[in-house]
Structure 1
Amino acid sequence: MQCAPIRCLALTVVTLTLFVTCAAGCRGLSSSVGSDSSREEIARLATEIAALRGLAAAGDEVALADALDRAMVAIPAGEFIMGSDAGRADERPAHRVYLDAFELDRYEVTNAQYRRFMLATGERPPRCWTDNTYPAGQADYPVVGVSWDGADAYCRWAGKRLPTEAEWEKACRGTEGRVYPWGDAWEPGRANVDAAGWDFGGATQDATAATVWDAAWARLALPPGSAGPTLEPVGSHLDGAGPYGVLDMVGNSSEWVADWYNWADYSKLPLRNPLVVGPPWNHCLRGSAWADPTGEPAWTQSLSRCSARNSAHETSDPRVGFRCARSGRSE
C-alpha cells in the first residue's frame, strides 16, 4: 500500500525514535542536566516530539495515535518516599512505599487517541467537541472533560489501566523525593500552568460553577495560539520532565488515577503496592492543570507538587484528563 511522502517519513522517524528511546531503557532524565546522558536523552525526546508534531500537522490521526500508544516509560521496581510531612494533612506522613515494576504513558492521552476509542465503542465525546471530533488543530492536545469511568474504560480498551496514586507519584518525583518533577524549586515556566491567575472573563470562584466552567470550556474551543491560558500539545515542556522522562505531570491537565480519595492520612495504608478502593465518593486527581478558575496562583503552585492530592466526583471537568499505566517489566 502506498502512502503520502510526508506520512511515510514522519511515521518512519517516529518508529525509529521510539525504538532508540526504549532501547535505552526509557529510564528517564538525569538530575544533572549538564551530563552527557541527560543531553542525549533530551535530544531523543526532542526528536520524538518533533515526529509526533509532524504526524499531527499532516493530519495522520491513526499513525499519531499508534505512536502515542507505544510511548511508554518503564519505571523500575523498588521503594520511594511517598507523601510529605510539610504538605497538607492528607499528604502526611512521608513514608516509604514499595512498588512493583510498571510502565506509564510518557504523554497524557490525546484527542486523537480518545477519538479512536470513541468511534470504536460509541462513547460520548467531551463537551468541547463538535460532530464527534475535537477542535481543529488539537489532535495532539490532551483530551479533557472525560469522567473517571470514561478514563478507566479507555485504559482497559487500550489494554492498559489507570495508574495508582503511588505509581503516579513515583513517576513524578523518583527516588530522590523531588518536590516538583524537575527539582525542588518552583519554576512555572516549566509547565503549562496558569501562574498569573486568569479571571476567565470575570468568572471567579465567587461566581456560579456553571459560569466558571462555561468560560473554561469556551477557552478550549479557541484556535491554537490564542491569548490567555489554554491547553497545549502534549510534550510542550520538555524541561518539565520528571526523573524518568514522563512529561506534563505538572500542568496541561490534572489526571485521574485509579484510587478512590482517602481523606485520612497515609498511616493505615499498605506500604507495598497501595491502592485505595472505596468508599464510593470521590476519585483521586493528581497534578495541576492549564487553568485555575479560582484565580489563585498559590493554589496552582501547591497542586503542582508531586505529593499534592486532589479529588473530584466522577464527572467531566475541563481541566481533567488522564494517562494510562501497565503492569510490567523494567529493564
Structure 2
Amino acid sequence: MEFSSINASGDGSNALPDWNDVLIPPSAFIMGTDIEPFYGTIVAQSRHAKLDEAPIHVRFLEAYRIARYPVTNAEYEVFVNATGHTPPPHWEDGKAPADEATLPVVHVSWHDAIAYAQWAQGRLPIEGEWEKAARGADGRIYPWGNKFEPVANKGAAVLTDQLTPVGNRPGAVSPYGVHEVAGNVWEWTADWYRPYEGNTYRYSDYRAKHKVLRGGSWLEVRDETANRYFRCANRLHAPPDYTASNIGFRCVRDVVPAGSNPEAVGQEMPVYPTQISAELLNKYVRQERSKNLQRIRKRARGRCFGDCSIAALAIGVGSYGMMIPKYAIGGFTLAMIGIGFLFSAGVNFWRQWKARKFLDANKVEGLS
C-alpha cells in the first residue's frame, strides 16, 4: 500500500490508505517443498529446506489482492495518529524518523499488524496467500527462479544487509509483480505455526502458540544465510507479541464478484476463468516427485555398491594387517574406515528402500 494521496496533502493525516496492490487471480498453485529425511543433498530443490515445509502439495485459492509493498513507516504513522495506537518503541515522541518514511515499519508485533490491517479495511495474508503471491503457480524456489542468482537478476539490492526503502529491490519481485518478497523484512501472516496436512514430522514448536513469518530479511544477508531463508517456501515462526528490527508486514483484502457489493469500490473484479487447474498441477507434482525419487534411488544404489566395495577391501586388508604386529595399528585404522563405509552403504540401502516405497505410494496416488 502507498499513501500517495495522503502524502500529497497536509489535511489527510487520519485518512484511510489508498491501496497500491496487486490482483492475484484464482488458480491452483504449488505450495511447500518435496523433502523427506532420506533425501540428503541429492535433490537440489530440497537442499536448504526444512521438514516443516513438507509435503509439497497443490492448493487452490480464489482471487485476492495483496499490497505491492510492505507497510512503511509513513503509512504506519498515519494509523498511529488516527487511532492512538502505541507507536514502535524506537520512534521518538511517537513519530517516525523523517528520513525513514519509506522504509518498512519494524518492531511491530503480530497484534500491531492485525490492528493496522483492520483499520485499513484489510487483513493479514494466510500462509498460502503469501506463498502464492511470492512464488507464482509453478513452485519455483525463489521469486526469480530456481537458482540463487539475485544479483544476476537485476537485484544487487536483494543482497543489501540493511533496511532499504520499499520498491528498491528489483530482483525480489514475484511473477505477479509483488515487491520485497525476499529480503528487507520478515512479514507476519495470519496463521498459527502448524504442520501442513499430511506432514508426519512432529516438532515441539508446533505446540507453541507461534505465528508464521515469511520472506527473509536484511539480517540473513548479513549472516550469509540468504540462500536458505529467501526461499519462497521457507517458514519462520515467533510468538505473536514478538518484535524485532527485521520484522514487518503487508496486508491483503478480499475480492468480491462485480455487482455483489456496491460499497466495495475498487475491490470488485469480473469473473475470471481459473488460471491453472488443480488437476493439472497435481499431475505435474506427482511426475516431479517421481523423478526425484528415481534420482535418489539410482544415486543411492550406485553409492551403496561403491561403499560396499570400498568397505570389503578396507576391512579385508585391515584385518590382514592386524595379524602382523608392525602393521597392527594401521590395519586397525583401515578396518575402522572400512566399517564407516559399510555404515554408509547401509544408509544408502535404506535410501533405496525408502525411495522404492514412496515411488509405489506415488503411483497408487496417481491412479486414485
Q: Same fold (TM over 0.5)?
A: yes
Give the counterpart of 1:239 among 158, 162, 171: 171
Distance (whole Å) between structure 2 residues aligned to residue 113 and residue 252 of structure 1: 17
Give the counterpart of 2:218 among 290, 294, 297: 290
Partner of 1:247, secondary structure, is coil
Which residue pairs with 1:71 in the alignment? 20
Give me the identity figure in percent: 41
Alignment of 1:232-271 (within 5 A): 232-262=164-194, 264-267=195-198
- Asked if the contact 2:55/2:199 (under 8 Å) is kept, the reply is no
**Residue 326 in structure 1 maps to residue 253 in structure 2:** yes
Which residue pairs with 1:8 in the alignment? none
**Residue 317 in structure 1 maps to residue 279 in structure 2:** no
- Asked if the contact 1:61/1:139 (under 8 Å) is kept, the reply is no
Distance (whole Å) between structure 1 residues aligned to residue 158 and residue 196 of structure 2: 28
Higher Rg: 2
Which residue pairs with 1:201 in the alignment? none
Distance (whole Å) between structure 2 residues aligned to residue 60 and residue 141 of structure 1: 20
Distance (whole Å) between structure 1 residues aligned to residue 6 and residue 166 of structure 2: 13
- Asked if the contact 1:69/1:105 (under 8 Å) is kept, the reply is no
Distance (whole Å) between structure 1 residues aligned to residue 11 and residue 135 of structure 2: 32
Distance (whole Å) between structure 2 residues aligned to residue 139 and residue 256 of structure 1: 20
Distance (whole Å) between structure 2 residues aligned to residue 302 and residue 234 of structure 1: 22
CA RMSD of aligned residues (A): 3.0
The Cα shift of 1:266 comes to 3.7
Contiguous gaps of at least 5 residues in structure 2: 35-45, 201-205, 257-268, 271-368
Task: Describe the shift of the 1:281–1:234 C-alpha distance in structure 2 as closer, same or farther (beyond 3 A).
Answer: same
Give the counterpart of 2:88 among 104, 126, 142: 126
Q: Tell me: higher relative CO, structure 1 or 2? Use CA pairs within 8 A at least 6 residues apart.
A: 1
**Residue 103 in structure 1 maps to residue 98 in structure 2:** no
- Asked if the contact 1:253/1:290 (under 8 Å) is kept, the reply is yes
Alignment of 1:1-331 (within 5 A): 62=12, 69-85=18-34, 86=46, 87-189=49-151, 190=155, 192=157, 229-262=161-194, 264-267=195-198, 281-292=209-220, 296-297=223-224, 299-314=225-240, 315-329=242-256, 331=270
Distance (whole Å) between structure 2 residues aligned to residue 317 and residue 165 of structure 1: 20
TM-score, with structure 2 as normaliser = 0.58
The Cα shift of 1:73 comes to 0.7
Distance (whole Å) between structure 1 residues aligned to residue 158 and residue 219 of structure 2: 6
Which has a greater percent of helix? 2
Task: Describe the shift of the 1:60–1:168 C-alpha distance in structure 2 as closer, same or farther (beyond 3 A).
Answer: farther
Partner of 1:248, secondary structure, is coil
Distance (whole Å) between structure 2 residues aligned to residue 191 and residue 103 of structure 1: 28
Which residue pairs with 2:294 in the alignment? none
The Cα shift of 1:69 comes to 3.4
Q: What letter corresponds to residue 198 of structure 2 in structure 1?
A: S
Partner of 1:183, secondary structure, is coil
Distance (whole Å) between structure 1 residues aligned to residue 51 and residue 107 of structure 2: 28
The Cα shift of 1:124 comes to 1.1
